Amino acid sequence: MAASVSNQSACVDVIIAVWNNAGTIGRAIRSALSQVDVSRVIVIDDHSTDNTFSVVSSLINELGNRIVLHRLDRNCGPSAARNSGLRLSNARWVAVLDGDDYFLPERIRALLDASDGADFVADDQIQIREGESADVNSCGNFLIGLKSPIKLDLATFLTENISSSRRHRKEFGFLKPIMRRAFLDLHQLRYDETLRLGEDFALYARALTAGAAFRIIPSRTYVSVVRSGSISGNHTREDLERLRDSDKALQQLPALTPEEVLLVQQHYESIDARVQWLNVIDAVKERNVAGFLSPFVIRPITSVYLICRLLEQVMVRSRRLLGLP
């Protein structure tokens, strides 16, 4: 049963951009409605091809008008869907929840308690696989592993988003803060609708560039369900190229310091290395020797990345041939 909410305490709208999450969307919505500080849960169905829309419609009949449901007439991606949710929202704070994730009890209250003087407030995340228990006391797989509150600056944020094979899915761009609506409106900040990957990173980077006070607290009440079929885990070359190229626009912002410009360039190069890996794979499939070799001479860091990926593949195939797990 959803918690009752008074108009005085409810100051957060939760936006869920959902596509083909019929099996998990109910859990996500119920977890958001259980938060006493949540005014409405705004669900934007990004033209799902399963029965997500009917599942949410049934929940509205069961739980009432704190759920707002809007269906896009074509699949537009998470950025456009979230922007649609922002247009429907009128709360002082907005939060984003993915359709296969969920909140633990009192999450929003903990973030609001830490919001004095802040524009963005995020917490750490528990990362689990579907079916695992999200026990904050025994689960050791956290997004950050934060011990105490920190104030996030742009340089730290950029550094913590440069991909590393040793830090899979640990980038700060995965954070899901509550965001002060007045700050978003003042600086005309919205999700970049050209992006289907890294849209959170792009928004937070621009917010920090605009002077956002971004606080992260060590509580772990956002549960991120890691799926092999998720958008963040599976993406096209075009998705990566658009994210990479958005860094060029970010570099041109006049507020960036020389150090920050350099960090943006490093982020660009880390994304480009992943693009080049896809190029290498295609060249192998096409038996294109020139296409295989050319990515290795772009820059030294790209060569190192590609060699490491090739060695990983050699190890995987060798273990298969030997019948090893």
- Report in angstroms the alpha-carbon separations of 176 from 48, 108, 182, 251: 23, 11, 18, 24
Asked if pLDDT for residue 134 goes beyond 50, the answer is yes
Identify each DSSP E strand in 164-320 by its residue range: 178-180, 214-225
Final residue of a structural domain among 204, 225, 246:
225
The confidence score (pLDDT) of residue 262 equals: 97
The answer on 107 and 46 residing in a single domain is yes
The confidence score (pLDDT) of residue 6 equals: 45
Dist CA 59 CA 51 (whole Å): 13
The answer on 263 and 212 residing in a single domain is no
**Is residue 230 in a domain?**
no
Reading the block at residue 54, the tokens are 């009917």
The confidence score (pLDDT) of residue 130 equals: 83
The answer on 169 and 91 residing in a single domain is yes
CA angle 275, 277, 281 (to 5 degrees): 120
The answer on 268 and 161 residing in a single domain is no
Dist CA 238 CA 90 (whole Å): 34
Q: pLDDT tens-digit profile of 147-188?
A: 999 999 999 999 999 976 554 557 899 999 999 999 999 999
**Is residue 256 in a domain?**
yes
> The whole model's pTM is what?
0.91
- Report in angstroms the alpha-carbon separations of 287 from 29, 297, 309: 49, 18, 18
Dist CA 261 CA 299 (whole Å): 18
- Left, alpha or beta for 64 (phi > 0: left; psi -120 to 50: alpha)? left
Question: Percentage of residues in the chain with pLDDT exceeding 70?
Answer: 92
**Is residue 118 in a domain?**
yes
Final residue of a structural domain among 225, 251, 273:
225
Final residue of a structural domain among 225, 251, 269:
225
Asked if pLDDT for residue 135 goes beyond 80, the answer is no
User: Per-residue DSSP letters for 260-295?
Assistant: HHHHHHHHHHHHHHHHHHHHHHHHHHHT-HHHHHGG
Q: pLDDT tens-digit profile of 248-275?
A: 999 999 999 999 999 999 999 999 999 9
The answer on 247 and 132 residing in a single domain is no
Domain extent, residue 267, equals 237-321
The number of distinct structural domains making up the chain is 2
The answer on 253 and 219 residing in a single domain is no
Dist CA 150 CA 122 (whole Å): 10
The confidence score (pLDDT) of residue 312 equals: 93
The answer on 221 and 241 residing in a single domain is no
**Is residue 312 in a domain?**
yes
The answer on 153 and 16 residing in a single domain is yes
Residue with tokens 């596509």: 19
Dist CA 104 CA 110 (whole Å): 11
- Report in angstroms the alpha-carbon separations of 213 from 1, 168, 190, 248: 35, 27, 17, 24
**Is residue 7 in a domain?**
no
The answer on 177 and 210 residing in a single domain is yes
